[in-house]
Amino acid sequence: MLKFGSKSDINVSYKCTVRLLEDTEVVECEFQNSDKGKQLLEHVCQQLNLIEKDYFGLRYVDHTRQRHWLDPAKAIVKQVKDMDPILFSFRVKFYPPDPFRLKEEITRYQIYLQLKRDLLHGRLYCTPAEAALLAAYIIQSELGDYDPEEHEENYVSEFNLLLKQTPEIEEKIMDIHQTQLKGQTPAQVENNFLRKACQLDTYGVDPHPVKDHRGNQLYLGINHCGILTFQGSRKTHHFRWVEVQKINYEGKMFIVHLTFNEKKHTVGFKCPTGAACRHVWRCAVEQMLFFTLPSSSEVPSVVTGGSFFSWGTKFRYSGRVEREILEDIGPLRKEEPSINRSLRSSSLRHKASSVPATPSTPIGSDLAGEVIEDFLRHERGEHDVTATPSEPIIQTETVLTHRLVNGGGGKEADGGHTHAFDDYYFRDSFEHSSSESQLVEVSGGLGPKMSTQPVPRPSPSIKPAPLPAPSAEAPTTTTTTTTTTTTTTPRRFNLLQVFVPSFLCVVLSLALATVLVLESDCEVLGTVRRWPEMVVLRRDYYEPVKEFLRQKLAKLLS
């Protein structure tokens, strides 16, 4: 493959910032053109002292405001074109069905931090009573036992815990904290939080806005159980992985091929854009392969989305699957690392509307502010939710078209989870579910909170840490840190630089092929030479040009 550009580009270093699950902490590092996503993820996990890193990933938003997971098998620089600054978010990618099957407490702690974020941003949908219990667990972990002298009045209002944090909910949280959780340690309440959260329908769900065949707004969730659809607060359908035979997309249509009740069905959902549809398809394929395959050696290459005018999308999952992770016997290391909970209270107290500066984005920079605002506006994902009852787009397996007609409902269409409370957690729970950090401006009844800035993780180093070499296994350490730097902008795509060399290559290839056909004595090409078009080409163009070049060459040699 030809590469047009300066050889010095190979040695160019890029700086990126990674936001951790605690918004008050960031990790900054450098990478080069040849570094792949796997190296960056391993580097971040090393700073967090994580060995069970298969459940985590790095998320980013491209220049078109589309979210992506960083592909571990591809070069980083090819995935973050035109991003300045380069920002990643460290997140849980594959939520374990049972967090207590994880081998290390520090891994469960990161799952807890992610679920705490999901609760705050509305992704972890639950009833007000369940939300109050989960929030009380967080308060007990942060503050310890209730002390009347220290915890005065409405002390819960200082914390951002829920998407819709009303005074009534705060009263319920304080009641649970004061009467039911006394004596429980942070580790105990965090385990109780995990035990409760993993039983909810929206555990591990990152809602994707889609529409059914009637134009009703739905949200598509994908987790270890399968593919779920929600309308407002109601789960409408659940397609389990054992029922899913194939997943693909065509344009903006995300299509699931199902087999249940011994019949084949096709379910389709329309996404806002083609890029969003491709993202949903890829998330679904990764989740399905990770939780269903017995071995990573059996991972197939998946191709979809092709049409007359496009090649489609080819994707191959890289990494281990869940069964391989669980089959690892014995402890991962002799002594588990300790968990540092010292910075957590400040992370809960800062307002969701605060805009902390990252090391690659100096405070006061108008351009940096615009970049972050664009990043956050997309992450906010504000969508209208219709109240009309809906059904999935289903048809029997006959002819697949973009227009999918209505048919039988999904296997599971329960309408539970309706309660006699106000709209505390229903509509807004999914409208704000796409935010990647607490930088999002949330309207509503939140109490006064303090505002903080994220700080690099402490380390004696003062330079951004370069990524380790691909072949070297770096020893497990605790943290890295950095200073404020400026990101090197990747080269922008230049149509002229691509078109001209490509055009010259095509012309040269055609000229060589013509000479080969007309000058060769091969009998295989004899039929081609006798074509009327080739005879005219030889008589009117090739022979005159050949004679002209022979005369010019004779003059030069004479």
User: Both tokens of residue 108?
Assistant: 């469960």
Q: What integer pLDDT is reported at residue 520 of this predicted model?
A: 82
Average pLDDT over residues 160-187: 94
In whole angstroms, give the CA distance from residue 529 to residue 535.
7
Q: What is the DSSP letter of 356?
A: P
In whole angstroms, give the CA distance from residue 284 to residue 224.
10
The mean-pLDDT minimum among 13-27, 64-78, 149-163, 530-544 falls in 530-544
Q: Is 51 helix (H, G, I), strand (E, B) or coil?
A: coil
Residue 65: name the closest of 497, 341, 434, 404 by CA. 434
pLDDT at 545 over 80: yes
Residue 267: name the closest of 208, 209, 201, 213 by CA. 213
The mean-pLDDT minimum among 104-108, 124-128, 225-229, 385-389 falls in 385-389
CB 76 within 8 A of CB 58: no
pLDDT digits (tens, 9 = 90+) for 508-517: 998 888 888 8
pLDDT at 7 over 50: no
CATH number of the structural domain 104-124+126-198: 1.20.80.10
Q: What integer pLDDT is reported at residue 421 of this predicted model?
A: 36
Confidence of residue 83 (pLDDT cuts 50, 70, 90): confident
Query: Residues 196, 202, 203, 206: what is their CA dihedral angle, to the nearest 10 degrees?
Result: -150
Q: What integer pLDDT is reported at residue 404 of this predicted model?
A: 30
pLDDT digits (tens, 9 = 90+) for 243-266: 999 999 998 999 999 998 889 999
Average pLDDT over residues 482-492: 44
Confidence of residue 303 (pLDDT cuts 50, 70, 90): low
Confidence of residue 105 (pLDDT cuts 50, 70, 90): very high
Q: What is the DSSP letter of 205?
A: -
The rounded mean pLDDT for the chain is 75
Q: What integer pLDDT is reported at residue 140 of this predicted model?
A: 95
Q: What integer pLDDT is reported at residue 493 of this predicted model?
A: 59
Q: What integer pLDDT is reported at residue 368 of this predicted model?
A: 34
Q: What integer pLDDT is reported at residue 470 of this predicted model?
A: 56
The class that CATH gives domain 13-93+336-351 is alpha beta
CB atoms within 10 A of CB 28: 22
Confidence of residue 296 (pLDDT cuts 50, 70, 90): confident
Q: Helices (DSSP H) in 249-304: which residue ranges?
A: 274-292
Average pLDDT over residues 379-393: 39
Pick 518 or 180 by higher pLDDT.
Answer: 180
User: Both tokens of residue 296?
Assistant: 């990573």
Q: What integer pLDDT is reported at residue 457 of this predicted model?
A: 60
pLDDT at 550 over 70: yes
Amino acid at 178: Q
User: Residue holding tokens 């914390």?
Assistant: 159
Q: What is the pTM for the complete model shown? A: 0.67
Q: What integer pLDDT is reported at residue 3 of this predicted model?
A: 40
SS3 content of the chain, % helix, strand, coil (to 5): 35, 20, 45
Q: What percent of the chain has pLDDT over 90?
A: 43
Judge if the upstream peptide bond of residue 85 is cis by omega within 30 degrees of 0: yes
Q: What is the DSSP letter of 80?
A: S
Confidence of residue 182 (pLDDT cuts 50, 70, 90): very high
Amino acid at 468: P
pLDDT at 116 over 70: yes
Domain spanning 208-317, CATH architecture: Roll (2.30)
The mean-pLDDT minimum among 176-190, 285-299, 304-318 falls in 304-318
The mean-pLDDT minimum among 167-181, 340-354, 405-419, 421-435 falls in 405-419
Average pLDDT over residues 154-170: 92
